Amino acid sequence: MDALVLFDIDGTLLRRAGPHHRQALVEAVRRTTGLDTTTENVPVQGMLDRDIVSEMLRNAGASPAFIRRHMPHVVARAQRIYVRTCPDLRRRVCPGARMLLYKLSRRGVTTGLVTGNLTRIGWKKMEQAGLRRYLRFGAFAELARDRAGLVRIAIRQARRRGWINGASPIALVGDHPNDIRAARANGIRSIAVATGVVDAAELATHQPDILVPDMRGLTLEMLVGQVPDLPRSTGTRNAAARPRSVR
């Protein structure tokens, strides 16, 4: 069906994915600039990776010009480091996420990422979590200045490729107030899940369209409205293998 559901990664599709992402940023800064930095005292939840790196460098005393000059090299190196060090993340998938992606795929709903992760970091996480097969495309940290801009890019890309039209329902699933604000800024449905560091009570104060403890509480109708019956044929191009539990 002509609908689009966008997902954040950290705290939404995955949780407690380990220190490897932060370590890649810290190591990339050190190798590129020689500065020892840390993500301590940086509120990384809901931030874009480039903003995290900028804050790390500012806390280490770097000037704006220094940050601009080195940022492209830090971004490239951080991705190379993470791709080499990312662990198996299949046990880190949030409750209900794998099954929801499977159901959306079976119904022909286009799904994608809107995330503060850098491109190769985001896709590597999805590969290591066994979720890559369900996600058609993504909008990542390098592409916009904020999360609302990433959502806008994702919607434009989906329309340009003919996956949705101007009347198609669109939803953004996320675990942070920044996800709710980004959905609202683009006039799409905001789905908040309390699987990240922000609890349900705090998320509720930002008035998402739907708030659930985790994705097990979501139905396709909540995401995209009325869903047509699944065709009897299983040979559709969007069909995906039924997910198996990871024990």
Q: What is the pLDDT of residue 245?
A: 41
What confidence score (pLDDT) does residue 35 get?
94
- As annotated, the residues of the chain forming the CATH 1.10.150 domain(s) are 20-85
116-136 pLDDT tens trace:
999 999 999 999 999 999 999
pLDDT digits 0-9 by tens, 87-104:
999 999 999 999 999 999
Domain 4-15+93-224 in this protein, CATH class: alpha beta
Task: Identify the band that residue 79 occupies on the pLDDT scale cut at 50, 70 and 90.
Answer: very high
% of the chain residues with pLDDT over 90: 79
CB proximity list for 132: less than 8 A, separation 6 or greater = 123, 126
CATH domain 20-85 topology: DNA polymerase; domain 1 (1.10.150)
- pLDDT tens figures, 179-214: 999 999 999 999 999 999 899 999 999 999 999 999
Which part of the chain has CATH 3.40.50.1000? 4-15+93-224
* Per-residue pLDDT, 47: 87
Range list of β-strands (E), 88-188: 110-114, 137-139, 170-174
How far is residue 58's CA from residue 56's CA, in Å, rounded to a whole number?
6
Task: Name which residue leads in pLDDT, 18 or 75.
Answer: 75
Q: Write the pLDDT tens digit of every residue in 230-239.
A: 444 333 334 4
pLDDT at residue 147 is higher than 60: yes
